[in-house]
Amino acid sequence: MTITNPASNNRILDSLPDGIRSALLSYAHEAGLSPQSVIELVIIRFLELDVALLKNSQPSSNDTSLLADLPASLHIPIKQYASDTEVPSEFVIELAIAHFLDPDSVTFDDCRVRVQSNLVEQLKQQARNQATTAA
């Protein structure tokens, strides 16, 4: 299941360190999702948003930052979190991914990468919830 346009590029995935990228690809494979969908679901989970935000949402075409690769519906929550914590929006993406892979980490540098079956199941459930909401 792909949440966003499958033709969208993977700049976010491509910008990640090898170990992080590999872990996300493993999660995508195990959960039967696209890597882009995993990234979006991880961000939604981190920001404690409703997965319904992805309903019929396409990436933004008028932004050149990494946010442009995400559905426009995620831009405001990411920017709000960035403003509240006084960090760049791109760092919010890193925080979300690092926290998903290792809840005790803050950055990729201190992230212990491992694929956990319970997180695969959570991704599958989030994807099912999104599919139900979109229907």
**Tens of pLDDT along 69-80?**
898 889 999 999
Confidence category of residue 126, pLDDT binned at 50, 70, 90: confident
- CA-CA distance, 15 to 30, in Å (whole number)? 22
pTM: 0.80
Torsion over CA: 48, 22, 69, 32 (sign): negative
